[in-house]
């Protein structure tokens, strides 16, 4: 059978490199709240952006998960598919034919229960999301198929026949000659192999010291003996196995990670809500424009920072690529991360940390942040150039590029030259994006730049008060070089008044 994809990956249209998640610390944030394994699974999915159709499909399902009954439904199915995979592995690795046939019957019964649980009439009647309706419909078709009906009927007949054995009496003679008798009622448990295993654990052919018995394999001879007592029944069980052994598709186990994707992200969003972060499902922009109202840099939660300052984000045809300058520690990197996270979570069909938004579905998202010196195999400039070349080779009009102080490790003159060339190439390719830079002169150089994308300017606002207070607000304006320089001088006590005061103190 072909498995219906709850992740709508047929609508995936591009990619996001792994370094992006590290640059914006999304990998650390997910790992903090969900664990490393869950974080890796989620990033593997959101690393493939969706088209507008795919985004809308996932958004509908995330909305469905706001209903407690749907969350409970997904949780039950996740647990059932885990049990199904466990029974499959138990069956698959058995060598004895009687073990294998009996384990297969248990596997089939779990599969039937899974299919029937999916076809929950209450969930089906209230489902509004197309993905959820399609998922249920695909298994409703399986459930109604003649093959499934035969499988269920025959498995029930064999199970009933096994129950008809009634009670099995087992006499075990230990090495010291003391006979032990055990009786097993098959009415207490449905699975014959399970009952026989209990006997094997209590009464081994060798008397053991008095201690808690570990789990052991049921004696092959014991099971063979039972098959000899009921040859027709076990022959029927073997025929059932041979007839249907290819019926259960192991691709079903992929639903475990699909359910987990939605449930784990829902848990993550719930945590963000508890931290006071607003969430919204963005409208999908049909034109190349993004407008986000009060976006939050959730990476700051890694530092347990209180009072995260939100910022508005906007990209459009008039200003698709921005140069962001301003005072140090003014919130520029936080703004860059917020822009990246909002676009990435949106492209995965999820909620974003903002009050309201209309976002364009970019096909690719790239970032370039200063690398950790300890991870470099070459010089920092060489590493940056290599990463930039890789971005330029892939960048097009459906690409968002976010740069943080790129080429800042070299001389001022060379850095300015490389930065201008980079911005020119990105704008010619029609890329949208944001470049955090300390080069105020770069703004003058790009003024007359011609390309498919027009350049705009942002600055980190500093209040004109005695303390030159940083607001962590980013505004659409060019930074004042004089104001920026004065802020730096203030920070290091190098203004004229500060120097004069220090001279007096020395005297």
pLDDT, one tens digit per residue, over 356-386 is 999 999 999 999 998 765 455 567 888 899 9
pLDDT-based confidence at 216, cuts 50/70/90?
very low
Q: In degrees to the nearest 10, what's the CA dihedral of 424, 428, 431, 432?
A: 60
User: Do 212 and 300 fall into the same domain?
Assistant: no
For residue range 283-320, what is the model confidence (pLDDT) as tens digits? 999 999 999 999 999 999 998 666 899 999 999 988 99
pLDDT-based confidence at 468, cuts 50/70/90?
low
Domain of residue 329, CATH code: 3.40.50.300
User: Do 53 and 139 fall into the same domain?
Assistant: yes
User: Do 145 and 187 fall into the same domain?
Assistant: no
| In a domain? residue 3 | no
Percent of the chain's residues with pLDDT above 70: 81
The listed range with the strongest mean pLDDT (159-163, 170-174, 270-274) is 270-274
Bigger pLDDT: 33 or 102?
33
Cβ burial, residue 402 (10 Å; 0-12/13-18/19+):
buried
The total number of structural domains that make up the chain: 3
User: Do 359 and 427 fall into the same domain?
Assistant: yes
261 closest CA partner among 43, 63, 83: 43
**Cβ partners under 8 Å of residue 184, min gap 6:** 167, 168, 170, 195, 196, 198, 199
Q: What is the pLDDT of residue 303?
A: 87
| In a domain? residue 154 | yes
324 closest CA partner among 287, 313, 356: 313
User: Which pTM value belongs to this model?
Assistant: 0.84
User: Do 472 and 402 fall into the same domain?
Assistant: yes
DSSP structural state of residue 14? -
Do the Cβ atoms of 298 and 29 come closer than 8 Å?
yes
Do the Cβ atoms of 45 and 348 come closer than 8 Å?
yes
User: Do 149 and 176 fall into the same domain?
Assistant: no
User: Do 304 and 405 fall into the same domain?
Assistant: yes
| In a domain? residue 32 | no
| In a domain? residue 121 | yes
d(CA 384, CA 226): 71
Is a pLDDT exceeding 70 seen at residue 352?
Answer: yes
Domain carrying residue 106: 9-18+47-163+248-257
User: Do 298 and 415 fall into the same domain?
Assistant: yes
- Sign of the CA dihedral with 332 first, then 337, 338, and 344 last: positive
Q: Which residues of 442-481 are buried (b: 16+ CB within 10 A; e: fewer)?
A: bbeebeeeebbbebbbbbbbbeeeeebebebbbeeeebee
Record the tokens describing residue 50, joined without a space: 């969706």
Q: What is the pLDDT of residue 396?
A: 96
Q: Which whole number is the average pLDDT over 110-128?
A: 96
User: Do 85 and 195 fall into the same domain?
Assistant: no
Is a pLDDT exceeding 80 seen at residue 415?
Answer: yes
| In a domain? residue 403 | yes
DSSP structural state of residue 119? S
| In a domain? residue 39 | no
Q: What is the pLDDT of residue 404?
A: 95
Q: What are phi and psi of 164, to 5 degrees?
A: -70, -15
Residue identified by tokens 């969003």 is: 269
Extract the runs of DSSP E, i.e. beta strands, from 122-161.
Answer: none
User: Do 286 and 389 fall into the same domain?
Assistant: yes
d(CA 216, CA 202): 10
DSSP structural state of residue 65? T
Q: What is the pLDDT of residue 312?
A: 97
**Cβ partners under 8 Å of residue 180, min gap 6:** 171, 172, 173, 174, 203
Q: Bridge-partner residues for 364, per DSSP? A: 15, 399
User: Do 252 and 285 fall into the same domain?
Assistant: no
| In a domain? residue 380 | yes
User: Do 369 and 400 fall into the same domain?
Assistant: yes
| In a domain? residue 414 | yes
Question: Angle 402-407-408 (CA atoms, 0-180°, nearest 5)?
Answer: 105
For residue range 250-259, what is the model confidence (pLDDT) as tens digits? 999 999 999 9
d(CA 122, CA 468): 60
**Cβ partners under 8 Å of residue 336, min gap 6:** 24, 324, 367, 402, 404, 434, 436
CA atoms within 13 A on the CB side of 33: 24
Pairing between β-strand 179-185 and β-strand 283-284 as defined by DSSP bridges: unpaired
């Amino acid at each position: 059978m072909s498995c219906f994809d709850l992740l709508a990956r047929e609508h995936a249209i591009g990619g996001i490199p792994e370094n992006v998640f590290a640059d914006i610390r999304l990998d650390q944030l997910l790992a903090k709240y969900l664990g490393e394994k869950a974080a890796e699974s989620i990033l593997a999915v959101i690393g493939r952006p969706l088209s507008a159709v795919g985004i809308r499909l996932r958004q509908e399902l995330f909305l469905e998960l706001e209903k407690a009954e749907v969350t409970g439904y997904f949780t039950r199915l996740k647990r059932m598919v885990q049990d199904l995979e466990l029974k499959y592995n138990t069956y698959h690795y058995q060598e004895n034919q009687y073990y294998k046939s009996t384990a297969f019957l248990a596997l089939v019964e779990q599969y039937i229960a899974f299919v029937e649980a999916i076809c929950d009439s209450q969930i089906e009647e209230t489902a509004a999301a197309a993905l959820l309706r399609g998922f249920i419909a695909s298994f409703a078709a399986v459930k109604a198929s003649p093959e499934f009906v035969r499988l269920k009927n025959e498995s029930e007949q064999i199970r009933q026949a096994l129950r008809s054995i009634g009670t099995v009496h087992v006499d075990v003679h230990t090495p010291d000659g003391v006979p032990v008798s055990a009786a097993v009622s098959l009415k207490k448990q449905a699975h014959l192999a399970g009952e026989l295993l209990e006997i094997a654990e209590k009464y081994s052919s060798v008397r053991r010291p008095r201690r808690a018995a570990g789990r052991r394999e049921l004696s092959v001879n014991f099971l063979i003996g039972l098959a000899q007592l009921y040859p027709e029944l076990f022959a029927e069980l073997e025929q059932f196995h041979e007839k249907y052994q290819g019926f259960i598709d192991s691709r079903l186990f992929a639903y475990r990670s699909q359910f987990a994707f939605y449930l784990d992200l829902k848990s993550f969003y719930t945590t963000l809500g508890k931290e006071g972060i607003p969430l919204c499902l963005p409208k999908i922009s049909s034109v190349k424009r993004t407008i986000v109202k009060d976006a939050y840099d959730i990476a700051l939660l890694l530092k347990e920072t209180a009072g995260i300052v939100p910022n508005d984000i906007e990209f459009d045809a008039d200003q698709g690529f921005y140069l962001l300058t301003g005072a140090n520690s003014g919130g520029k990197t936080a703004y860059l991360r917020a822009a990246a996270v909002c676009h990435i979570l949106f492209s995965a069909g999820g909620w974003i940390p903002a009050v309201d938004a209309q976002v364009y579905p970019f096909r690719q998202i790239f970032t370039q942040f200063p690398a950790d010196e300890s991870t470099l195999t070459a010089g920092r400039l060489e590493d940056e150039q290599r990463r930039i070349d890789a971005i330029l080779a892939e960048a097009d009009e459906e690409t968002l590029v976010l740069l943080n102080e790129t080429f800042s490790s070299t001389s001022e003159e060379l850095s300015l030259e490389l930065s201008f060339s980079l911005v020119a190439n990105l704008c010619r390719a029609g890329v949208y994006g944001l470049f955090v830079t300390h080069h105020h002169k770069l703004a003058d150089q790009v003024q007359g730049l011609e390309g498919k994308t027009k350049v705009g300017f942002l600055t980190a606002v500093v209040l004109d008060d005695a303390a030159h207070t940083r607001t962590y607000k980013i505004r659409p304006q060019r930074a004042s070089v004089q104001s920026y320089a004065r802020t730096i001088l203030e920070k290091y006590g190098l203004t004229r008044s500060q120097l004069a005061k220090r001279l007096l103190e020395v005297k």
